[in-house]
Structure 1
Amino acid sequence: MNQIKFKLLILLLTFIFALTSNSAIPPKYGGVIRLAVFQNTLTLDPTKTLTSIEYCISDSLFDGLISLDRKGKILPCIVDSWTISEDKTTYTFHISNSAKFHNGRKITANDIKFSLQRSIINAEPYLLNQSSLGLILGINNYRSGKSKEVEGLKIIDENNFQISLEKPDDTFLSCLDSPVAWIVPRESIQKGVFLQKPIGNGPFKVKTGTGSEGEVLSLIANEDHIYGRPYLDGIKLIYASDLETALLQFETNEVDCLEIPNISYGRFKNNPVWFFRLVKSDYKQMFCIQVNSKSFPTKVRISDILRYGIDVQSILNMLYDQGTAISNDYQPKRAEKLSQESQIKLAKLIFFDSGDDIKKVADRIALDLSKIGIEINVSPLNRGDFQKALADRTYSLALRIIRISSDKVDDLNMPSFIPLFYYDTNVLQKSEVQHLPNLVRKSIFQFEYMYFLRL
């Protein structure tokens, strides 16, 4: 009976919401949206984003050559147009005269070449594989130091830039909608002030000066954006030390929305008031384990041990099935046999300490592997230590939540990664905030009769 009442209440609330929807009301300028975040430090360097909120904020600060609308249609961004050679290996981009950085300087072909070469050197290999940069002619020679510049990146003149590929690839343009293909100002990077005062070219820019207590970051509308000012005046990120603090901020109207850890989803799904305010994001993420092969003997089948030894479905059950298993190969006896043959007794699992979900998943993985005779030293790290460990390869295993641009794991071309499951993101939001998870520049959502993004 209670379950029937709950369903009827949901239907009633949905009907009321439909009647009061703001979708037919013309957009108005103004307003600031406040997001609760569980990180008190953020990176705004597009080549170093580790979490969904960092990606979304960076996406509001930076533009690339192209962008995608919500249906995946390719749109010009800082360029007016492009041409493609007959053999489909050379793309010539014509930069818009209206494309400017936040400091007012026009974007040139020099900025594009500098930004792409910077990403090719600094970005993790899996990001290059997911983006189009991995297709560009000569990147391996550049990354290895055999050449001083990337052969496939060519400045024609100040307003025209050319990219040549190793071979034709129909996904090239669409994959340019990636953080590693966003454009940054050369002089800001070279002076070493970019991280302190990042200058982008997107619809929002970083607000200077001291913010309110607990404010991690404040963005304001870019009045001179290439496609015009965004409707919303700004975005504020408010730090919450834990979920209870964030919920208190939400209830006292200090924040408008927050991401709900899936480990806590159960307390919301059976509460009609909370459940009605939950929205599932279409933002694509994946839990995976990155393997440092150098920390294991050559003949050890560590990938098979992990695939057979980790109960992925049990982890998803713990997360209230807020995700989808990529594979279901749990065979503990087979994993134990491989473990005994390999004589692996101890391994170190690191992760970026960014929330409750990844902590719980790491502990569950350690429990599963302990059952097959492998003791796991679980090490939560801050951003700096995590990225240093990855760079120095001072780990055995690294638990990652990565943004993906494809539903096909095989297309990701990441041999050192063991994919576990796709990971759903749920956002609790005020009733007047619609479509919030689509926090990307192609999407439009309303906040108190105002549209957040212009495109």
Structure 2
Amino acid sequence: MKVRRREFVRLFTAAPIAMLTAAPAWSADPLPQKGGKLVYMSENIPSLNPLDNESTVGVVTGQVFASLTRLDEKQKPIPYLAKSWEISSDGLSYTFHLQPGAKFHDGKPITSEDVAFSVGVVLKFHRFGKQMFGPVTSVETPDAQTAVFKLSRPHAPVLLSTTMSRFLPIMPKHVYGTQEDFNSNPAHKHPTGSGPFVVSNVKLGSYIILDRFPNYFLNKRPYLDRIVIQIVSDQTAVRVGLQRLEFDLVSGDALRYRAIKSFKSPQLKIERTTSAVGALTTIEFNNRTGPLSHKKVRQAIGHAIDTNFVASTLHDGWTLPGRGPFPIGNPFFNESIKGYEFDLDKANKLLDEAGFPVKADGVRFELKLIYISNEFLDLFVTIPEYVKPSLKKVGIEVVLEPMPGAAAWAVRMQNWDFEMSMALPAAYLDPGIGISRTYVCDNIRHVAYSDTSGFCNKKVDELFHEGVAEPNFDKRKALYDQVQTLLWEEAPMIWVVDLATPLIYNAKLINPPLTGWNQYGPFDEMYWRGGSK
């Protein structure tokens, strides 16, 4: 989103010059105008707990809660609730200075005590709080506007972890600090936040209505008066709603990929997003027992899956063939990693070498594949339907086990009750946040999207640990290049496709979230051409 430099400087006059990078540059358009309602189409949103694992909850979290910083269009942190910050030369201290006069939705001031409280909650209850803030030993509060993160060792992901409220929502201690179990707090039914929009009406499963917060700490924003988040799970209803212009903003992952090209109205725009989330669709292996405990078996499965066919034909070009454990758009991606070559002869040879010959019935062994059957259909359903006959060609009988929803799938994963599983792990830009959690030995936990595969390699751990402590980008990249090479060789999972999710939106909408954290970031800079649609 292009915010003119005069406005940006006015908003952050107290920030050091080094912090005054460009605000999100999503389009060059007329001056912002206030007013109007935005209808965002979403799949099911199960709760309003800002730490809920379900990605759809993040859309609400990004509007209701502010983070300390945010990302610009080049994926760099810029001021947000924190007007400025400093990092000590030894990397052991991060000092954030809050916007003066910032208030929560109930009118109470946002203070450094709230920041300290929020960090503590995230460390204890966030599914990868340890990856983000593990070395933070304390948050000092020398005054109401200053929060100082103290670290036991340098940890490069700290700053990036402050750029999204799905990571670190700044929450009122006086509301959420009333009981020990954060996740069961009744305040989640009607959250009190710090972001640009206030929850005004909720009917989970149907809609969530958010209204403009008039005392938002960024002057004159947000521009929209209201956001209506409409819950729609039926594909036909999504298509019809878009054709009738009932929805103003829809993530392309809510539709089948082949349906996207049908929206050719001049009143709609379809653009591929550049996302800091960086997600891969994977087939995760349980590395502990059976055939999948053999590296050559895992590699063979990689060579038996034609990822180019999946991306170009099954997904109509809306995904990219997976090449390795880091998404292609990640700044630390190793260009030398080309993915597993589709080669059935090589797959058969590896399976023979692993000691699993073809039996009289043409089958070497059987593997079960679990997947969520009612979400991300092109990823979680189409791929398993393709994988079953593909692996049959090399003597692996695949038994498909559809799960009725994400909750049922998560139970199987957290109990390690699977052989193969379709998954959608997000990288979250910094390898120390989103990537390492699925591979390091000390994160083998009974939690979905931890290292549920049971993979453990001490050299991989060592490289990841060195990477998060190294402040120099080039040195970090060299370490992560080695990680990617090792993981590609070990194949704890197969990286099938790399997501490049399209966004479908009303052509009159200015500054749709095409970069940064996309729909998980604040909508405070979006507005309608003419003030309403």
**Structure 2-normalised TM-score?**
0.66
Match of 1:293 in 2: 287
Match of 2:419 in 1: 396
1:326 Cα deviation after fit: 3.0
1:257 Cα deviation after fit: 3.4
SS at match of 1:161: strand
Pair 1:200-2:227 in alignment:
no
- Contact 2:280/2:425 (8 A) holds in 1: yes
- Distance in 1 (CA, whole Å) between partners of 2:307 and 2:246 is 37
- Find the partner of 1:378 among 401, 406, 412: 401
- Distance in 1 (CA, whole Å) between partners of 2:293 and 2:241 is 52
The one-letter code sitting in structure 2 at the alignment partner of 1:234 is R
- Contact 2:300/2:350 (8 A) holds in 1: yes
Match of 1:173 in 2: 159
Match of 2:503 in 1: 427
Pair 1:357-2:374 in alignment:
no
Could you list the per-position Cα deviations for residues 13-51 of structure 1 after superposition, in whole angstroms to 9, with x for gaps in the alignment? Answer: xxxxxxxxx9653322111111222x2334433433433
Shift in alpha-carbon separation, 1:357–1:95, aligned structure 2, 3 A: same
Could you list the per-position Cα deviations for residues 83-127 of structure 1 after superposition, in whole angstroms to 9, with x for gaps in the alignment? Answer: 3223122112233442332222223334323322332333334x7
1:158 Cα deviation after fit: 4.6
SS at match of 1:195: helix
The one-letter code sitting in structure 2 at the alignment partner of 1:47 is L
- Distance in 1 (CA, whole Å) between partners of 2:288 and 2:404 is 21
- Contact 1:295/1:395 (8 A) holds in 2: no
Shift in alpha-carbon separation, 1:27–1:321, aligned structure 2, 3 A: same
- Distance in 1 (CA, whole Å) between partners of 2:433 and 2:86 is 30
Pair 1:70-2:68 in alignment:
no
Could you list the per-position Cα deviations for residues 164-210 of structure 1 after superposition, in whole angstroms to 9, with x for gaps in the alignment? Answer: 33543555423431422222334336551133222221111212366
- Contact 1:64/1:78 (8 A) holds in 2: yes
When structure 1 is superposed on structure 2, of 253-262 and 101-110 the one drifting more is 253-262
1:243 Cα deviation after fit: 2.4
- Distance in 1 (CA, whole Å) between partners of 2:198 and 2:290 is 45
- Contact 1:290/1:399 (8 A) holds in 2: yes
Match of 2:428 in 1: 405
The one-letter code sitting in structure 2 at the alignment partner of 1:36 is M
- Contact 1:268/1:275 (8 A) holds in 2: no
Shift in alpha-carbon separation, 1:270–1:107, aligned structure 2, 3 A: closer
**Structure 1-normalised TM-score?**
0.77
- Find the partner of 1:324 among 314, 320, 323: 320
- Contact 2:267/2:508 (8 A) holds in 1: no
SS at match of 2:310: helix
Pair 1:182-2:169 in alignment:
yes
1:441 Cα deviation after fit: 2.9
- Contact 1:32/1:234 (8 A) holds in 2: yes
In the alignment, structure 2 segments of 5+ residues that lack a partner are: 1-26, 180-184, 324-338, 357-364, 440-450, 452-492
Match of 2:327 in 1: none
- Contact 1:363/1:378 (8 A) holds in 2: no
Shift in alpha-carbon separation, 1:447–1:306, aligned structure 2, 3 A: farther
SS at match of 1:194: helix
Shift in alpha-carbon separation, 1:258–1:270, aligned structure 2, 3 A: closer
In the alignment, structure 1 segments of 5+ residues that lack a partner are: 1-21, 138-149
Could you list the per-position Cα deviations for residues 322-366 of structure 1 after superposition, in whole angstroms to 9, with x for gaps in the alignment? Answer: 122232313334444555637652234233732322321233234
Pair 1:447-2:439 in alignment:
no
1:303 Cα deviation after fit: 4.2
Could you tell me the percent identity over the aligned residues? 18
Shift in alpha-carbon separation, 1:390–1:157, aligned structure 2, 3 A: farther
SS at match of 1:208: strand
Shift in alpha-carbon separation, 1:64–1:400, aligned structure 2, 3 A: same
Match of 2:248 in 1: 256
1:233 Cα deviation after fit: 0.9
1:68 Cα deviation after fit: 1.9
1:275 Cα deviation after fit: 10
When structure 1 is superposed on structure 2, of 195-204 and 416-425 the one drifting more is 416-425
- Distance in 2 (CA, whole Å) between partners of 1:390 and 1:110 is 36
Match of 2:391 in 1: 369
- Find the partner of 1:164 among 150, 174, 180: 150
- Distance in 1 (CA, whole Å) between partners of 2:66 and 2:387 is 38
- Find the partner of 2:124 among 114, 121, 124: 121
SS at match of 1:393: coil
SS at match of 1:249: helix
- Distance in 2 (CA, whole Å) between partners of 1:332 and 1:122 is 45
- Find the partner of 1:86 among 79, 85, 89: 89
- Distance in 1 (CA, whole Å) between partners of 2:499 and 2:507 is 24
Match of 1:144 in 2: none
Match of 1:238 in 2: 230
Match of 1:34 in 2: 39
- Distance in 1 (CA, whole Å) between partners of 2:254 and 2:321 is 15
The one-letter code sitting in structure 2 at the alignment partner of 1:176 is T
Match of 2:207 in 1: 216
The one-letter code sitting in structure 2 at the alignment partner of 1:75 is I
Shift in alpha-carbon separation, 1:241–1:93, aligned structure 2, 3 A: closer
Could you list the per-position Cα deviations for residues 215-254 of structure 1 after superposition, in whole angstroms to 9, with x for gaps in the alignment? Answer: 4211111112211340101111223332221122233343
Shift in alpha-carbon separation, 1:319–1:309, aligned structure 2, 3 A: same
The one-letter code sitting in structure 1 at the alignment partner of 2:31 is P
